[in-house]
């Protein structure tokens, strides 16, 4: 009888779900949602999963350099459950929290997913660390009074503000500016911040063209033509992943990079993939001080070398951001020296912690949102033909992030009041 089978099945699932609660001394379970399928899995999901895997392995073995040399997290071993972010984010978040009963959720790259799970983290009172999503709205409008929700990655604002500052500081003629961004939230926000920053810094720029091709379009012939004929001196793009690579492959042979200074805010992720195709001199960003822009510290070098030894290529910025999130959680957990989520959350608030990418401060969003500086540089191949960056200029966190009492949009609109760029 079909219906009886169904009822029995449901009842069985109900029994199976009421598993044992985690006890002290058991491993700490981290739920890690990253993209395991779809267009974002290659450029983001894979390096994030790899970064988490090597870091957790090293943490459990106690091999991470100081100040993270304590085994695991607060002496407890760490276990990770990876889940595909491409599935329904709200349902899978609930599954992690209520079915798998993880101790903390660390992940998310898509801003849409971050927005969807942010209120849930507070509702379910679940310690949650957002890794990579860029929208500043999370703590500005979605969750204004956070307790359990944190984001250790800086917002997307710093990419655009830093890009404008870099163009100005390197003496690029800013009279004619153009942009090409994907027509979805990420591209629209990046371009809005970029043009807002142009106005805030009074560059007097004339926007010659703004191209918004469909996300994952893959073909940019017409857009490149429009950019070439627009006569722009500087071009901004927030393309990422396959779209960025397609854009580079299609725009470089047509001389776009010779004619204009092209800023690629996520360009770092393409460096290992297209070392010979990216024209030297193209302006590259990594959405923060990651990867080639990371400081020369023991922790940074350890992370880079360990990752490369495991996977054969150096970590791209999403891997650094994942490491940053896990280390932030570890720092908070050990500062609290308790397994009570409320105490860990309290210790996380306004925390200052070391990461492979330098010191991170949870300074805005009521102490739940990290600020970090950003760096840009120009692409070059070193003597051995390895991709690298030169002419690097770093901007400190206070220069490119809004103060705690202002939203990113207000801050840009007001002309960066209180920005400290020394």
Partner 1 sequence: MMKTDFRREPLYIAILAVLLIVGFFLPSWLRFLLQTALAGGLVALGVALQMRAGLVNFGQGLYYALGGYAVGMLAAQAGITDIFILLIAAVLVSTVAGIVLGLLLSRYREIFYAMLSLAVSMILYGLLVKAAWLGSTDGFNIPPVSYLGWTPDRAVRPDIYYVTTAVLTVIACLATARYLTSGAGMLCEAVAENEIRLEYLGASPRKVAFIVIVVASALSGLGGGLLAMSTGHVDPLMTNWTTSGGFVFVALLAGRGSTIAPVIGFFLLELVRTYALDLAPNAWQMILGLVMLAVILLLPEGLWSLIERRRKA
Q: Which residues bind partner 1 (CB under 8 A)?
A: 1-3, 6-7, 10, 13-14, 17-18, 36-37, 82-84, 87-88, 90-92, 94-95, 97-100, 110-112, 115-116, 118-120, 123, 135, 137, 142, 183-186, 188-189, 192, 215
Q: How many CA atoms lie within 13 A of 324 on its CB side?
A: 35
In the complex, the smallest distance separating the C-beta of residue 278 from partner 1, rounded to whole angstroms, is: 27
- Burial of residue 246 (CB within 10 Å: 0-12, 13-18, 19+) is middle
Judged by beta carbon, residue 98 or residue 382, the one nearer partner 1 is 98
In the complex, the smallest distance separating the C-beta of residue 3 from partner 1, rounded to whole angstroms, is: 6
Contact criterion met (CB below 8 Å) for 293 and 265: no
Judged by beta carbon, residue 35 or residue 303, the one nearer partner 1 is 35
81 pairs with which residues across the strands?
31
In the complex, the smallest distance separating the C-beta of residue 216 from partner 1, rounded to whole angstroms, is: 11
In the complex, the smallest distance separating the C-beta of residue 238 from partner 1, rounded to whole angstroms, is: 13
Residue 268 is encoded by which pair of tokens?
Answer: 């770092």
Contact criterion met (CB below 8 Å) for 149 and 122: yes
Judged by beta carbon, residue 96 or residue 351, the one nearer partner 1 is 96
Judged by beta carbon, residue 22 or residue 172, the one nearer partner 1 is 22
In the complex, the smallest distance separating the C-beta of residue 337 from partner 1, rounded to whole angstroms, is: 29
The C-alpha angle with vertex 107 and arms to 192 and 342, in degrees rounded to 5, equals 110
Q: How far apart are CA 405 and CA 403, in angstroms?
A: 6
Judged by beta carbon, residue 2 or residue 204, the one nearer partner 1 is 2
Q: How far apart are CA 77 and CA 218, in angstroms?
A: 43
In the complex, the smallest distance separating the C-beta of residue 36 from partner 1, rounded to whole angstroms, is: 5
Judged by beta carbon, residue 36 or residue 346, the one nearer partner 1 is 36
Strand 352-355 and strand 283-285: the pairing is unpaired
- Burial of residue 83 (CB within 10 Å: 0-12, 13-18, 19+) is buried
**Alpha carbon 55 to chain centroid, angstroms:** 17
């Amino acid at each position: 009888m079909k219906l009886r089978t169904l009822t029995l099945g449901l009842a069985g699932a109900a029994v199976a779900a009421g598993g044992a609660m985690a006890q002290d001394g058991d491993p700490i379970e981290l739920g890690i949602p990253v993209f395991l399928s779809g267009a974002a899995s290659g450029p983001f999901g894979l390096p994030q999963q790899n970064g988490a895997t090597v870091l957790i392995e090293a943490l459990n073995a106690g091999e991470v350099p100081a100040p993270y040399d304590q085994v695991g997290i607060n002496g407890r071993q760490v276990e990770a459950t990876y889940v595909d972010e491409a599935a329904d984010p709200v349902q899978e978040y609930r599954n992690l929290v209520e079915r798998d009963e993880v101790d903390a959720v660390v992940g998310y790259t898509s801003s849409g997913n971050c927005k969807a799970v942010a209120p849930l983290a507070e509702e379910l009172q679940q310690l949650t660390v957002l890794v990579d999503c860029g929208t500043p709205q999370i703590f500005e409008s979605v969750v204004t009074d956070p307790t359990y929700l944190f984001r250790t990655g800086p917002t997307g604002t710093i990419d655009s503000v830093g890009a404008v500052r870099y163009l100005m500081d390197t003496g690029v003629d800013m009279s004619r500016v153009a942009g090409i961004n994907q027509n979805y939230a990420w591209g629209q926000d990046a371009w809005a911040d970029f043009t807002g920053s142009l106005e805030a810094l009074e560059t007097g720029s004339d926007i010659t063209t703004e191209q918004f091709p469909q996300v994952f379009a893959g073909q940019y012939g017409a857009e490149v033509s429009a950019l070439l004929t627009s006569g722009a001196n500087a071009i901004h793009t927030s393309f990422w992943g396959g779209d960025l690579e397609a854009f580079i492959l299609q725009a470089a042979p047509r001389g776009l990079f010779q004619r204009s200074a092209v800023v690629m805010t996520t360009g770092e992720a393409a460096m290992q993939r297209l070392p010979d195709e990216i024209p030297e001199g193209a302006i590259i960003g990594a959405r923060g001080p990651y990867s080639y822009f990371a400081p020369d510290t023991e922790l940074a070098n350890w992370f880079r070398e360990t990752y490369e030894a495991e996977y054969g290529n150096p970590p791209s910025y999403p891997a650094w951001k994942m490491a940053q999130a896990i280390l932030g959680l570890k720092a908070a957990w050990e500062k609290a020296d308790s397994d009570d989520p409320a105490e860990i959350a309290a210790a996380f608030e306004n925390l200052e912690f070391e990461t492979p990418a330098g010191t991170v401060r949870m300074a805005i969003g009521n102490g739940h949102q990290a600020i970090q500086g950003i760096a840009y540089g120009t692409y070059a191949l070193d003597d051995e033909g390895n991709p690298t960056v030169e002419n690097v200029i770093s901007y400190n966190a206070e220069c490119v992030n809004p103060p705690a009492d202002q939203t990113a949009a207000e801050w840009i609109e007001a002309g960066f009041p209180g920005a400290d760029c020394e």
